[in-house]
Chains A and B, each alone.
Chain A
Amino acid sequence: MIWWLKARLVHPLLTGGLLAFTLLSLVFQDGTILLPAVSINAGNTVLLTTFTPIIVAAVLVRCLDARLPSAEMTGMRAIPWMDSGLIIATLAVAVGAAWVGGELLNSTGVYLAGRNALFMTGLMLCARSIVGRASIVVPTAWIFIVIFLGHRTATAYYPWAITGLGIESRLAATAATAAFLLGTGLNQRLTRNKP
């Protein structure tokens, strides 16, 4: 168990990443950036916490990719289950931290960071089961797709732009949970023992 944690770089990287995600989300809160470079008329305001959830996904995929292939292939340990446990624990911490932060600071942006971390990690894990190591590109691209194409009006997003939707949106909450569950499942079934 300890060796597995060490191989997965849990101590230095995952904890550091979660800390960075929490701190940055709490610092940014509801802060927005204006992007007249993107559009002057509509849709040029972007929450800074749009960007923080990618930290969770990036750090997690880096940890999952840090393997000891020969040791893991021997099959003495239930590595896929342990990996799934790691994913669930990481997201539990991330979403929990965002929820507590949002509650304490009364900030929608922080809540959104938690929900979007769930969605983007799910997206990354789904991609990981198909494209392997390049999977982080998908949630990164997703951020920019939502910024550039997701705006319906200056303040509202299209329903497909999950990460842009408000915290009260049932659709977004459902989609985030579904993406996460699907991603975790696919990751466990398909991304197995690849060096």
Chain B
Amino acid sequence: MLLIPVTMAFIQRPTWPTLNSLPPLVLGMLLCVAHAIIGATIGQRLKPALAVPILSCVVFVVVAYPHSMQPFFLRHIMGEYFGHIGFGETVTFTSMLALFLPTAGVAAAAAFSWTRSPVAFRALVAIVLILVPTFTAYTMTKDWDYNPSINTGNVAVACAGSKPQVCLPEQASGSAKGIRSAVDGTFAMLKKYGIVDSAPTRIYDAMIYGRFTPANTRSTKYMWLSFAYKKDNVASSIISSYIHFPCKHPAPQALLTVGVWLEEKAGKAPTYQQISAEDPYYTRAQHREVTKTVDEISVKSTTEQSAWYRSTLTTACEGSR
């Protein structure tokens, strides 16, 4: 039954499954077998009229509910993979084993109850068969947070250009040229106005690392480049990551003015609608003031503009800690 959706997807879009994509499917099939053993055993002892509703409801609640429970290890061992596997991510063997062990233990206990041995012995073995795998799975997963253990960076990466070198997954090679020119243009502009001294040596698309984006260093940056390119805001995402106010909470109006000023230089000035979509308290009067300031500054010389930028950084932080 699990093969039906896989086959349907294959017919719809013929792509050979990769070796990495098969283990979750196998895990699902093994879990089905385990549940079938449990169901057959209980169905043998209870009449169908009772076994059907009790098992379906209890199993559903027991498997699905731990996803919203703490401690986190519960959701990694109850038999349903937590979260979606994103681009560049593959499941680890440990995470699948932890998911499988408790259910497999119960199934083994159920299977053992079919043997002809004293009831007390069967009960004892069943308890051991359930507790040992469950405890093993617990020791494997007790330190995990809500993310299961996942491999990332399992992507063929193509780097091109220099200063900064832009590294994208090979699948994004179609938009590589556009992304690179946007990145180069933005850094040239940032350097011109003295926002940055030098571009980083290398920029990686954060998508390569799935949900765990590595920390930026001085020479290496990780950004969601291909997502930003799709939304046509590569420039603004670079700009916003390079405006560093010396305080934690600068005056919002100044922050916005600097942002709009730089994005106008990059040719992608945000409109009132775009900004107010993110900030419901942003008024038209405020927007008029921002654009007025930006228009006044933009006609000045380059050195004056970068001097204005530096003074804004300090004035925006006055009155803030």
Residues of A at the B interface (CB closer than 8 Å) are 33-38, 44, 48, 51, 54-55, 57-59, 61-62, 65, 133-134, 136-137, 139-140, 143-144
How far is B57's CA from A131's CA once the two chains are assembled, in angstroms? Answer: 22
In the assembled complex, which residues on chain B have CB atoms less than 8 Å from the CB atom of A48?
61
C-alpha gap A16/B17 in the complex (Å): 52
Contact bitstring B54-82, A, C-beta under 8 A = 1, else 0:
10110011011101100000000000101
Instruction: Indicate if the CB atoms of B53 and A54 lie closer than 8 Å.
Output: yes
Q: Which of B2-10, B44-52, B222-230 is found at the contact surface with chain A?
A: B44-52
Q: Determine which of A38, A55, A134, A139 lies in contact with B64 in the assembled complex, contact meaning CB atoms within 8 Å.
A: A38
1/0 per residue B177-212: CB within 8 Å of A?
A: 000000000000000000000000000000000000
Which residues on A sit within 8 Å (CB–CB) of B54? 58
CB of B81, distance to nearest CB on chain A (Å) = 9
Distance A45 CA – B50 CA, assembled complex (angstroms): 26
Interface size class of B (residues with CB under 8 A): 10 to 19
CA–CA, A51 and B55, complex, Å: 11
| CB-defined A-B contacts under 8 Å, sample of 11 | A35-B64, A35-B65, A37-B67, A37-B80, A51-B57, A51-B61, A59-B50, A62-B47, A133-B48, A137-B52, A139-B53
With both beta carbons as reference points, the residue of chain A lying nearest to B58 in the complex is identified as A51
Complex formed: what's the CA distance from A62 to B53 in Å? 12
Question: In this complex, which of B48, B53, B68, B80 has the most chain A Cβ atoms within 10 angstroms of its Cβ?
Answer: B53
A136–B53 CB distance below 8 A: yes
B82: chain A residues within 8 A (beta carbon): 37
Q: How far is the CA of A144 from the CA of B55 in the complex (A)?
A: 13
**Cα of A59 to Cα of B57 in the assembled complex, Å:** 15
With the chains together, A59 CA to B51 CA distance in Å?
Answer: 10
Question: Given A33, A59, A65, A140, which contacts B61 in the complex, CB threshold below 8 Å?
Answer: A33
A61 cross-chain contacts in B, Cβ below 8 A:
49
Q: Contact check, A140 vs B65: say whether CB atoms are below 8 A apart.
A: no
The contact string, 1 if C-beta is below 8 Å from chain A, for chain B 67-108, is: 110000000000010100000000000000000000000000
